[in-house]
Structures are given as structure tokens and as C-alpha cells.
Amino acid sequence: MIASVLIADDHDLARAGLAAMIGREKDFRIVSEASDGAAAVAACRVHAPDLAILDIRMPELDGLAATREIRASLPTTRVLIVSMHDSLDYLEAAIEAGASGYVLKDASREDILATMRRVLDGEAFFNADLVARLLRRASSRSIPEKTGIDRLTVREREVLVKIAEGLTNKEIARRLAIAPGTVKIHIERIIAKLGVADRTQAAVLAVRSGLLPVSSQ
């Protein structure tokens, strides 16, 4: 299956670089490019791409606001943020806006392409170092009174712990000796019960609820 992709970045060279890299891959097809967030939203409404790749800092409408609009009007379009900003605040805002991934622009070609494929495969994926720092920060915050954790089954809690540890669906399946499809079903139920948008939001909530410790290293 060939996935349709939109690229939005106000820097021409950065946008051209991404387009050149993605254009060489047989499983991707670039359907539109945009130089600002408003144009990206408009183009998504026309082309309904499988994946929208957005920079955060753009004129007219920034990447976070564009993500919210795209996710609200086109729930089947996944959003990947590719940014130069190594910022926990930006990462947390991207997760809350509904982005399925966040990678830094200095990531390798292989990492960016792998992240695109994981996001299109239904997995949220964010820069590992940033997520680890975000989870440590989340663990130091006050615990919400109602998190929904108590509604999870024992198996769902086990899966949630593995999500917070950064494991993929296949890795969780191997650790718990269950099928990958079963893991996916558990994750869908976890997300629904916790009232979050994706697995990363679920992981943050798990840490804030004290479900597992976070290393301080």
C-alpha cells in the first residue's frame, strides 16, 4: 500500500530535503507541500493525506494549531511533527494536540522514515530521549484525582506499564506471550478507558498515577 503524505515547513530547504528523502521511497507518495500551517490545513482538507508532516514554528498557523485542526476535521490523517526544537513543552503540546509522532530534524534518514512507517501503522512514536524526560517531569507532578487507571483489568495494566517503558506492540507481545493483535486490542481499550488520545498520553498518565517508577538517570 502506498501512503499519501503532505509536508509543511516554512523553510524551503528543509521542506525540499524532506520531499527528496520521502520521494525516493516506493511506499510513500507526496500529494502536497505547504509553507505555513493554514495552507497545510487547507491542503489536508483537499487531499486527505494518510500522513501530514508538520514543522512547529510556521507563519499564519503554527504546527500545533494546525495539528488540532487537521485531527478535528480529518481524524484518519495522522500527524508527525518534525522539529528542530528539543523542548518538553513543545512535545507535551504536540501530544495534547493529537500528533502521533515527534522527531527532531537532526534525526537520521532511517529514523525519520521508520517513524513515519510506525505512525502509519497505528503506533504513536516520539523522540525517545524527550519522552523519557517528559515522563520524569510527569512523575513529579500532582496525581489527578480520577485517572481511569482503576477501570483497567490486570492485563491492561500490564500492557500499559510496557507502553510506558517504551516497548512497541511486537515487543509487548513477546514479553507478555500474547499475539500482537491482542496487544492492539488492549491498547485501544486502555485509550478508551483513560479518555486519552494515544498511547503516549496513556504512558504519561500511568507515570503520574504512580503505576510505575521512572528512572532519574
Mind listing the pLDDT tens digit for each residue in 160-183?
Answer: 988 877 788 888 999 999 999 999
Whether 196 and 130 have beta carbons less than 8 Å apart is answered as: no
What is the percent of the chain with per-residue pLDDT over 90, rounded to a whole number? 54
Count of beta carbons in the 10 Å neighbourhood of residue 105: 15
pTM of the full structure: 0.75
pLDDT at 211 over 60: yes
pLDDT at 141 over 70: no
Q: Which residue has the cell 508538520?
A: 54
The single-letter DSSP state of residue 36 is S
E strands, 69-209, in order: 78-83, 101-104, 125-126
What is the percent of the chain with per-residue pLDDT over 70, rounded to a whole number? 89
At 45-95, the pLDDT tens digits run 999 999 999 999 999 899 999 999 999 999 899 999 998 888 888 888 888
- Determine the pLDDT at residue 42: 97
Question: Long-range contacts for 36-42 (Cβ within 8 Å, ≥24 apart)?
Answer: 36/8, 36/10, 36/60, 36/61, 37/8, 37/61, 37/62, 37/63, 37/65, 37/66, 38/66, 39/8, 40/6, 40/8, 40/66, 40/70, 41/66, 41/69, 41/70, 41/73
Kindly state the cell numbers that stand for 167: 516497548
Mean pLDDT of the chain: 87
At 100-128, the pLDDT tens digits run 888 888 889 999 999 999 889 877 777 66
Of 194, 172, 175, 191, nearest to 183 (Cα)?
172
Q: Give me the DSSP letters along 39-96.
A: HHHHHHHHH--SEEEE-SS-SSS-HHHHHHHHHHH-TTSEEEEEES---HHHHHHHHH
Q: Which residue has the cell 532511517?
A: 110
